[in-house]
Amino acid sequence: MTNPNLRPTDLPSWKALSAHAAQLKTQHMKALFAADDKRFDKFSLQLSSLLLDYSKNLITDETKAALLALAKESDIEAWRSRMFAGEHINATEDRAVMHVALRDKSSQPILIDGVDVRPAINAELERMRKLSEKLRSGAWTGYTGKTITDIVSIGIGGSNLGPLMACEALKAYSDKRFNIHFVSNIDGVQIAEVLDGLNPETTLFVISSKTFTTQETMTNASTAEKWFMAAAGDKAAIAKHFVAVSTNRKLVTAFGIAEENIFDMWDWVGGRFSLWSAIGLPIVLFLGYELFDELLQGAYEMDQHFQTAPLAENAPVMLALVGIWNRNFLNYPAQALLPYDQCLHRFPAYMQQAEMESNGKSVNWAGEQIAYASVPLVWGEVGINGQHAFYQMLHQGTDIIPADFIGSVTPNIVVEGHHDALMANFFAQTQALMQGSDADQVRRDLTAKGVSAARIEEIVEHKVHRGNRPTNTILLNKVDARTLGALIALYEHKIFVQGIIWRIHSFDQWGVELGKVLAAGIQPELDLAKATNAGHDASTRNLIDFYKRAKAGK
Ligand code: F6P
């Protein structure tokens, strides 16, 4: 393995890519397509779960070769083996990174710190299956003997976004046995709206928190408990209405949740990669265990592809490399995620945490400030809605924003006349972003419409689309559980590969701590009887005082 302290900018491939980028920036993708009718074949990959077309990027054979050299020189394969072998690659937290173990469908032992964790993983899966069956069969009843109708999942970040995204994506497969609700925000409006209309006798709360210390989750959990106790009266009833998922049994028990209702997870599973653990319990309860198992299966298949496919044919690796090219060599500042499938409407929010909490770092493994860009701003929205909102900027704005377009051949709910109209837009947008429309074309189009020559010259520049805007297209057969599992794992491994190339620690999240600590100090100051800390900067102090005066009605 090469020296892990080597800076990527010192690698021969990085230098070659920098020089190559300077030259390729003068080219237009439209010309590259015209010059090479094999471009799609060369720059796309077909897997059993999805098709990845990355040909609409400003790349050539030479770019791909140099990017693959970067992957080799960055020791991607060795690092990948280290992750799958359970080594402590999360060095700052001194932990293994083994979310892949949770979906490992082989029967091999999975050693983490010398212990085979497979029995523990299987035991938790079995407990999840049993709870789901008890609930779904009606054998599990609430404190008055009624069956459960509503599940309220309380958690935030990685303990919320994955189950929420997956339940939304797959709700067409629900047998409508339960209603599911998610609460993450400490803003009381959200939990108040969720609880309004629910019956405590038929509601089950799933409190999900890896640490069981997260303020938002603990506050919401205690509000839920108060709401429940106001109706039930008897503490013993909690055992029938509250279950928890956490690594911290002690705190869960102290909260009052019965031992047998605690589902374990482990510190070698990062929060934003924890959907595959018992954090996925809301998915199991809402959609049934078999469907969750399919989700795991899809992810496992992507793990195998990631581990075995040659780098040039490896979808996560190529997605990562194209992202590196756009970010570090073409200097694009952002990455849009644009699902053209309503089922995936929470996918951008989910991936935003996965990408930005993982790779939003500016210090390398050696603790030095890095002199190159790490994760771009990742954002997105259902594409078709975006077309009528922010696509103007994607087509003609001063910044070039690479975008991933994700669509499906078959929708989960077929409504006559809709899907081809949606997909026509899906195909048209990446074409438009790539080829654009030059002044001559605009003139021809306007002339054909009978617009006068003088008017054409007034507006022509405003109608020009310069194109050359990169996109990846990911085409799924259908958003079913297996495909969704593969899609998520595709991006997880992309994140991993990029973190290795950037030489940053992708699996910690120290950047979220400072704000939490300061908030804990500020909260008591918001009590009108207490003085505001004079040590705050003038902006923060005055904002707090303004808030307190307004709160006091002064
Ligand atoms: O604040 C960030 C974070 O630590 C995430 O990494 C995590 O997913 C989320 O908070 C929730 O943490 P927990 O599951 O411990 O409540």
288 ligand 1 Cβ < 6 A: no
The first and second tokens of residue 195, run together, are 């609880």
pLDDT (tens digit per residue) in 264-321: 999 999 999 999 999 999 999 999 999 999 999 999 999 999 999 999 999 999 999 9
| Mean pLDDT of all residues belonging to the chain | 97
272 ligand 1 Cβ < 6 A: yes
* Neighbour-count burial for 172-186, b at 16+ CB within 10 Å, e otherwise: ebeeebbebbbbbeb
Ligand 1 atom nearest residue 159's Cα: 14
In angstroms, the CA 201 to CA 285 distance is: 17
Ligand 1 atom nearest residue 279's Cα: 14
Alpha-helical regions (H) of 173-280: 188-195, 215-232, 249-255
Closest CA to 190 of 219, 212, 168: 219
Task: Identify which of 92, 154, 184, 210 to mutate to test ligand 1's pocket (most ligand atoms within 8 A of the CB).
Answer: 210
Model confidence, pTM: 0.97
- pLDDT surpassing 90 at residue 4: no
Ligand 1 atom nearest residue 271's Cα: 8
44 ligand 1 Cβ < 6 A: no
DSSP 152: E
In angstroms, the CA 23 to CA 17 distance is: 10
Ligand 1 atom nearest residue 272's Cα: 8
Distances (CA, A) of 9 to 286, 328, 365, 390, 458: 48, 10, 14, 34, 46
217 ligand 1 Cβ < 6 A: yes
- pLDDT surpassing 90 at residue 5: no
- pLDDT surpassing 80 at residue 359: yes
DSSP 90: B
Closest CA to 481 of 328, 286, 309, 234: 286
CA of residue 363 to ligand 1 center, whole Å: 21
Closest CA to 391 of 338, 324, 318, 329: 338
Strands 179-183 and 150-154: parallel
Ligand 1 atom nearest residue 217's Cα: 16
Whether 91 and 365 have beta carbons less than 8 Å apart is answered as: yes
- pLDDT surpassing 90 at residue 144: yes
pLDDT (tens digit per residue) in 171-191: 999 999 999 999 999 999 999
pLDDT for the residue 1: 61
pLDDT for the residue 3: 73
| Beta partners for residue 327, in sequence order | none
214 ligand 1 Cβ < 6 A: yes
Closest CA to 259 of 267, 249, 251: 249
Q: Residue whose CA is closest, atom 8 of ligand 1?
A: 158
Distances (CA, A) of 219 to 191, 216, 225, 381: 10, 5, 10, 29
In angstroms, the CA 335 to CA 255 distance is: 41
Task: Identify which of 92, 97, 154, 156 to mutate to test ligand 1's pocket (most ligand atoms within 8 A of the CB).
Answer: 156
Domains of the chain (ranges, CATH numbers) = 8-73+309-435+469-508 (3.40.50.10490), 111-293 (3.40.50.10490), 512-551 (1.10.1390)
509 ligand 1 Cβ < 6 A: yes
In angstroms, the CA 212 to CA 515 distance is: 18
| Beta partners for residue 204, in sequence order | 151
pLDDT (tens digit per residue) in 28-51: 999 999 999 999 999 999 999 999
- pLDDT surpassing 70 at residue 2: no
CA of residue 214 to ligand 1 center, whole Å: 7
The first and second tokens of residue 91, run together, are 């060095």
pLDDT for the residue 554: 86
Whether 97 and 116 have beta carbons less than 8 Å apart is answered as: no
pLDDT (tens digit per residue) in 498-532: 999 999 999 999 999 999 999 999 999 999 999 99
Please give the full DSSP string across 250-286, using - where no structure is assigned. Answer: HHHHHHT--GGGEEE--TTS-GGGGGGTGGGHHHHHH
246 ligand 1 Cβ < 6 A: no
Alpha-helical regions (H) of 326-367: 347-359
Ligand 1 atom nearest residue 208's Cα: 14
The first and second tokens of residue 320, run together, are 């990562």
CA of residue 157 to ligand 1 center, whole Å: 5
184 ligand 1 Cβ < 6 A: no
162 ligand 1 Cβ < 6 A: no
- pLDDT surpassing 90 at residue 6: no
pLDDT (tens digit per residue) in 471-482: 999 999 999 999
CA of residue 347 to ligand 1 center, whole Å: 18
* Residues recognised as catalytic: 357, 388, 516
Q: Residue whose CA is closest, atom 6 of ligand 1?
A: 271
